[in-house]
Structure 1
Amino acid sequence: MRVLHVNKFLYRRGGAESYMLDLAERQRARGDEVAFYAMTHPENDPAAYAARFPAHLEMNPLPPGVTGKISGAGRMLWSTSARRGLAQVIADFRPDVAHAHNIYHQLSPSVLAALRAAGVPVVMTLHDYKLACPSYSFLDQGRICTACVGGGFRQAVRRRCKGGSLAASAAVAVESWAHRRLGAYNPVGVFVCPSRFLTMKLIDAGVYPDRLTVLDHFVAPGPAPVDPVPGRLVVAGRLSHEKGVDLAIRALPVLPPGTRLDIAGDGPERAALTALAEATAPGQVTFHGRLPKAGVLELMNSAAALLLPSRWYENQPMTILEAFACGTPVIGANLGGIPELITDGVTGRLVQPDSPTALAEAAAPFLLSAQARDIYGKAARDVATTRFAPDTHLAALDAIYASAGNRLSEERREPRAD
């Protein structure tokens, strides 16, 4: 099978890219031919079709100046360069199926039009809430908000939920409205939702309810177990407000003496978090920056627990699956898709969101008792090797690819209005 993965970034920037790259590696290992299409970026992995990628463009915030903002907004709506480049890749690679991921903004759904014109079945894994929320995350000024689900995309403008900017909020609202109105995502045969929570939010928003299917991500077997480093807790992810990394730092003063927090990741809040750590828990926090996957797994494998104190509706965070594969319990906020992964009192703990005290109370037993860490960790590893086994995921995904192909064949036999 020839599989074309389409995503705006081609490096391990976040969970979406990690999933895509790990999936492609598995597909290649079993004999599939795999190619990628993305935006040009200085951190991209080498790619056969890199010369066909559209130019690099930062969109958060929009480019400066009137001309830059108009150009950026136009590309968000419909990128002719992305469609043109992808058409050339399709002609050369001749994919049997295209697997889309995060294509918003820099690529735009113009790439889906190129795939439909070439008769290529499309499956799209949804890694966030973009199709129901113009700003991706169901957040308004850092607080959970689902106003657009029932109130329409104009709510994004009224609330200025995109960074507090009227212009940016209007741009993403118009983008979402236009794409919904014009059926820009109609070429997608199946939308893959990694969590039931995401599925229900999309159904509530009226987003292709007949094309949604739930499929867990997968995780490779973790490294061999090691004795945990005494007092180590780990956070892994983007350093931004919605991830709640500050809550983990604020929990340190009420945790047992000697507790250390290792933070893997980078992002816009790194400077502020560094200052908070120096003021709140001097000498107890290590910022590792963005690490290769092996480095993150090494930290997880030797930790008493992984902390995931998110303030937003996580979908199906790969960090939980990776921690489980390492036999490391996870303490996560009781929000979004996280409760679908953590069985409270078995593989980790679910805690009240936005509460450093609740986080500390849940983490303390794993720091004080190696036995508790081992019992929870064994249960977590068992879940990773059964529910999230790679072969199970690949078999289910093959069936989804076939379903998308069947849907396209039916549509081509009996054309219908979008």
Structure 2
Amino acid sequence: MEDSALRSCGRRVAVASIFPENSGGGGGIVAHELTRHLAERCEVLLLCPGERTALATNSRGVKVLTVASAGPDQVYYPSLDRSTCNRTIAWLDEFRPEIVHSHDPIMLGAIAQYYALGHSIPFVITLHGLPNRILEFGACELPGFRARRLVQPVVHSYISRFLADCDGIVAINDSVIRALREYPLRARVFPISNGRDLARFRTGRFADMDGRARNLCFIGFLSERKNQMYLLEMLAHLPPDYRLRLVGKTLVPGYERRLRRFASEHGLNNVEFLGQLDQSAIPACLADTHAFVSASRLEVQSLTVIEALASGTPVIGLANETVDELVDDAVGRRLPRETPPAEFARCVERVCSLPQARYDRLCRQATDRVAQMDWTRVVDATAAAYETLVAEFSPLTRPGHAPALGVHGLNPLTYIYGHLNMSASALFYSCHRYWHRLGRLTNAHRSPQAR
């Protein structure tokens, strides 16, 4: 397709995310940033959680359809009662999308698919996680999601049916493509990576190798999957001149307490818990980092690894999906999963002891490694995928029915899980709103002395 055609997509695209802006980790960030960049070429409507159910136009000219949602940190239950669903569908009807693009297979992502199926519109999903390991990501790491073995068959059945009803699937790397081989698909699979605004991270300078201090960094939720405990064990084998900065808020409070207790018991005064930083602060944080270190057990395509490489920061990591894809000796070090912390520490010292000239070469190669992940190229590929889907779309190739709202398919397992995502979501929303109001009433009726 002509480049000019790609840059003037002209389609009406509805994008769905289960996260509000600046929330939800990589999947939420990418969904909102993609929407912003698509809006420069297409007419876009974004469906996402919000304080109330409403349709508005934001400062960038993007129509944003929010569904009233509430819940604990990083989990947003939309109020998916019949009235809300009808209002949402009416606003989508008014927008008349030609493509529906979801970034999640549940809740608002499922509503988006129901809409596309019922209105004979091409539907595409970007898979930010591995579909066969979905219970190991994000909110599923919270304590309330521990009974994974009990729900695994239900989830597998639901995901199988959801993918079977897709017209297109965006696979962000080969690990997703391999996972999709377990599913009988009719959808066209588009290999399109996550996108980043790479220019923000190219400061033009690399960390100074002359001084004795060495800065290490990891950015991401504090969680067992991210495995920051391993990084602390590794830090215990390094000289005190090495400082580890852990950026990100805790997903499970108990895990952060364990990390802090370990650091205290082992005299690790050279570790800093910086909490969540605004996206605008990440480039400066990486600019004086000598090495980005990662021990994540499962990481499909980490935005922070991409950002570290884009900034010219070498990455040293245990093998996982992201490290296998992007990291080797040309840009850092990739180590086997079973590498002991002491050996990881020795590898860190070798990289951080390089002469400035050799270190700078490593940094330049890191920047080059992710050059194809700039948003401009990613949006080009996404727009081309939309055109392919529209050109090839035929409702006759779809299954013989569109599932009723609230029930995904006829399999009893998908029936159960569909109701958990739809009907129960409204119940969870109401409960959280009730407790929020109760807390406000309690505070309002406290005596001045109690305040």
What TM bracket, shorter-length normalisation? 0.7 to 0.9
For 1:310-389, what aligned pairs fall within 5 Å after superposition? 310-312=296-298, 314-342=299-327, 344-353=328-337, 355-369=340-354, 370-385=356-371, 387-389=372-374
Change over 3 Å in CA distance of 1:11–1:47 after alignment to 2: farther
The aligned residue for residue 173 of structure 1 is 153
1:237 counterpart = 2:220: yes
Aligned to 1:120: 121
Aligned mate of 1:32, from 38, 42, 62 = 42
Q: Distance between the aligned counterparts of 1:277 and 1:41, measured in 2?
A: 39
Q: Cα gap change, 1:304/1:189 in structure 2, threshold over 3 Å: closer, same or farther?
A: same
Q: Which residue of 2 aligns with 1:94?
A: 96
- 1:110, CA displacement in angstroms? 3.5
Q: Which amino acid aligns with 2:367?
A: R
Q: Deviation of residue 89 (structure 1)?
A: 3.0
Letter of the structure 2 residue corresponding to residue 292 of structure 1: D
Aligned to 1:53: 67
Task: Summarize the Cα distance change of 1:128–1:109 in structure 2 as closer, same or farther, 3 Å threshold.
Answer: same
Residue 108 of structure 2 aligns to a residue whose secondary structure is: coil
1:214 aligns with 2:191: yes
Does the Cα contact within 8 Å between 1:52 and 1:89 map onto a contact in 2? no
Query: What SS does the aligned partner of 2:321 have?
Result: coil
CA contact under 8 A between 1:90 and 1:118: conserved in structure 2? no
Name which structure has the greater RCO, CA cutoff 8 Å, separation 6+. Answer: 2
Aligned counterpart, 2:25: 14
Distance 2:150 2:278 in 1: 37
The residue type paired with residue 174 of structure 2 is R
Aligned mates of 2:47, 2:344 — CA distance in 1: 40
Give the conservation status (yes or no) of the 8 Å contact 2:236–2:266. Answer: yes
Hey, what's the Cα distance between the residues in 1 that align with 2:215 and 2:21?
28
Structure 1 residues 59 and 265: alpha-carbon distance in aligned structure 2, compared to 1, 3 A threshold: closer
Shift of 1:214: 1.7
Instruction: Verify the 8 A CA contact 2:15 2:102 in the aligned structure 1.
Output: yes
Task: Indicate the residue corresponding to 1:256 in structure 2.
Answer: 239
Q: Is the 8 A contact 1:236 1:264 kept in 2?
A: yes
| 2:273 match: secondary structure | strand
Contact 1:36 1:47 in 2 (8 A): no
SS in 2 for 1:276: helix
Match of 2:202 in 1: 223
User: What is the letter of the counterpart of residue 6 of structure 1?
Assistant: A
Give the match for residue 406 of structure 2.
none
**Residues in 1 aligned to 2:96 and 2:187: alpha-carbon distance in whole angstroms:** 28
Q: Which residue of 2 aligns with 1:2?
A: 12
Q: How many residues align?
A: 371
Q: Which amino acid aligns with 2:194?
A: H
The ranges of structure 1 where at least 4 consecutive aligned residues each deviate by more than 6 angstroms after the TM superposition are: 59-62
- SS of the aligned residue for 1:256 comes to coil
Match of 2:168 among 190, 194, 201: 190
Shift of residue 34, structure 1, vs aligned partner: 2.7
Q: Secondary structure at the match of 1:241?
A: coil
1:72-116 deviation per Cα after TM superposition (whole angstroms, max 9, x unaligned): 8xx99x975774354133123222322210242x43523301122
1:170–1:22 CA distance, 2 compared to 1 (3 A): same
Whether the 8 Å CA contact 1:324–1:383 is kept in 2: the answer is: yes
Q: Would you say the 8 A contact 1:83–1:111 is kept in 2?
A: no
> What whole-Å deviation, never above 9, does each CA across 1:197-217 have from its counterpart, x for those lacking one?
1211220x2252753232222
CA RMSD after TM alignment = 3.3
Unaligned runs of 5+ in 2: 1-10, 402-451
Distance 1:59 1:114 in 2: 28
Secondary structure at 1:110's aligned position in 2? helix
Q: 1:246 to 1:415 in 2, by over 3 A?
A: closer
Give, in whole Å, the separation in 1 of the partners of 2:316 and 2:37.
29
CA 1:249–1:371 in 2, change beyond 3 Å: closer, same or farther? farther
Cα distance, 1:281 vs structure 2: 4.5
Tell me which residue corresponds to 1:397: 382
In 2, Cα distance between equivalents of 1:248 and 1:396 = 36
SS at match of 1:396: helix
Q: CA deviation at 1:334?
A: 1.3
Taking the aligned partners of 2:146 and 2:271, their CA distance within structure 1 comes to 31
Deviation at 1:169, TM superposition (A): 4.4
Q: Helix, strand or coil for the counterpart of 2:18?
A: coil
Distance 1:178 1:321, change over 3 A: closer
Which AA in structure 2 matches 1:56?
Answer: A
Encode CA deviations 1:351-410: one digit per residue, 9 max, x unaligned. Answer: 12253223212211232234443121100111222x2233222221111112222343x2
Q: TM-score, normalised by structure 1?
A: 0.78
Equivalent residues of 1:250, 1:280 under 8 A apart: no
Structure 1 residue aligned with 2:424: none
1:282 deviation in Å?
2.8
Amino acid at match of 2:37: R
Counterpart of 2:223 in structure 1: which amino acid? S
Cα offset, 1:127, TM superposition:
0.5
2:442 match: none
Query: Does structure 1 retain, via aligned residues, the 8 Å contact 2:47–2:108?
Result: no
Amino acid at match of 1:126: L
Contact 1:327-1:381 at 8 Å conserved across structures: yes
Q: Is the 8 A contact 1:232 1:260 kept in 2?
A: yes
Distance 1:32 1:257, change over 3 A: same
Q: Which residue of the partner structure matches residue 274 of structure 2?
A: 288
Which amino acid letter does the alignment assign opposite residue 177 of structure 1? S
Retained in 1: the 8 A contact 2:167–2:186? no
Per-residue CA distance 1:145-203 (angstroms, 9 max, x = gap): xxxxxxxxxxxxxxxx98543xx6434532442453xx344442111111111211220
Amino acid at match of 2:214: G
Secondary structure class of the residue paired with 1:99: strand
- Unaligned runs of at least 5 residues, structure 1: 63-71, 143-160
Contact 2:48 2:65 in 1 (8 A): no
Separation of aligned partners in 1, 2:151 and 2:57: 31
**Correspondence list, 1:399-418, <5 A:** 399-408=384-393, 410-412=394-396, 417=400
Are 1:190 and 1:403, in contact at CA under 8 Å, matched by a contact in 2?
A: no
Structure showing greater radius of gyration is: 2
Against the structure 1 CA distance between its residues 171 and 32, is the aligned structure 2 distance closer, same or farther, given a 3 Å change threshold?
Answer: same
